Amino acid sequence: MKVSISINDEKVSREIEPRQLLVHFIRDTEGLTGTHWGCDTSNCGACVVHMDGKPVKSCTILAAMCEGHEIHTVESLEVDGQLDPVQQGFHEQHALQCGFCTPGMMMTARALLNENPDPTDHEIRTAISGGICRCTGYMNIVSAIRWAAEHEAAAAKQEV
């Protein structure tokens, strides 16, 4: 079957198998390997992308269901050489080690901050609790997201 999906603001039309998972479409058909796969059961969150601005686990969605929808992946976070504050925060706060969960964690964090620019630590922990990180123990991920929130707030103030 044929689907037309907007991926990272670029509209693509592809012939796909109806059963193809979105994560496979992103990785194999589009070659965007920043989105990872880590389980088969929607538990790990390594595959989180944005669908129309909302975080979704792309292993739980068929590519066919994305007809006409907008998908954003980790590759869209950096714009014109400018890192997203979430990306910067992950680096500054040492919120990644092996890096495998990082794209999913960052996309989850980005969605959280879009909805809630000043989350509490508990809100951050709740937001990322759909994901698994085996390396960091989460503490620095929480710090990174808080860092991003604070720096976005500072940047917003400067703009005003």
The reply on whether position 72 binds another protein by CB under 8 A is no
Asked if residue 130 lies in contact with residue 45, where contact means CB atoms within 8 angstroms, the answer is yes
| Nearer Cβ to another protein (48/51) | 48
Q: Count other Cβ atoms within 10 Å, centred on residue 158.
A: 7
Residue from 64, 77, 112, 148 that binds another protein (CB under 8 A)?
77
| Nearer Cβ to another protein (83/160) | 83
Residue from 7, 25, 36, 85 that binds another protein (CB under 8 A)?
36
DSSP string, 93-113: TT--SS-SSHHHHHHHHHHHH
Question: Smallest distance from the beta carbon of 27 to another protein, in angstroms?
Answer: 8
* CB within 8 Å of 68: residues ≥ 6 apart: 4, 5
Tokens encoding 35: 């989105």
What are the residues binding another protein (CB under 8 A)? 17, 19-20, 24, 27, 32-41, 43-44, 46, 73-75, 77-78, 83, 87-88, 90-92, 94, 96-103, 106, 121, 124-126, 128-142
